[in-house]
Structures are given as structure tokens and as C-alpha cells.
Amino acid sequence: MPPPEEPHGIRVHLDKLLADRGMTVAELAELVGLTPVNVSVLKNGRAKAIRFSTLSKLCEVLECQPGDLMTWGR
């Protein structure tokens, strides 16, 4: 059995950004070039990593800064 993961303290705010823009996970996924499943994994805070190229594309599509997408705090 793998060891339990330590909480990373990163909060993802895709729900708010999508709602503010009237956009669905499927629409965002298509515009960013990800699968809806991968967007959902990120949105629900279950992602273990994100590529800078993906972060850049998310910021471009959502017209936001990385700090709008994620914050740190426990």
C-alpha cells in the first residue's frame, strides 16, 4: 500500500473562474487542449502537477494570472 500523501496546501479556483465566465469544463478542456477528465482532476484539487505550458494556456483562455487560478494556504 502506498504511503498517504501529505496535503500540499494548494487551492485551485477553477470553479469560480468558470462560473464567472459562464464556461463549462468541457468548453475549457477543448480550448486548452486537455481532456475534460484532466480539467476535472485539476479543478477538484487532485492533480499532482501541472505543466507550465498548461498553466499558460489556462491563463490565456481564462484571461487571468496564475494567482487567480491557484493560491496556497493550509
Domain spans, the chain: 12-72
Helices (H), 1-74: 14-21, 25-32, 36-43, 52-62, 66-69
Please, which pLDDT band fits residue 70 given cuts at 50, 70 and 90?
A: very high
Q: Enter the pTM of the model.
A: 0.86
CATH number of the structural domain 12-72: 1.10.260.40
| Residue 1 pLDDT > 80 | no
Any idea of the CA torsion for 20, 25, 26, 29, to the nearest 10 degrees?
A: 100
Other beta carbons within 10 angstroms of residue 5's beta carbon come to 7
Q: Tens digit of pLDDT for each residue in 18-62?
A: 999 999 999 999 999 999 999 999 999 899 999 999 999 999 999
Q: What is the pLDDT of residue 44?
A: 93
Q: What is the pLDDT of residue 6?
A: 60
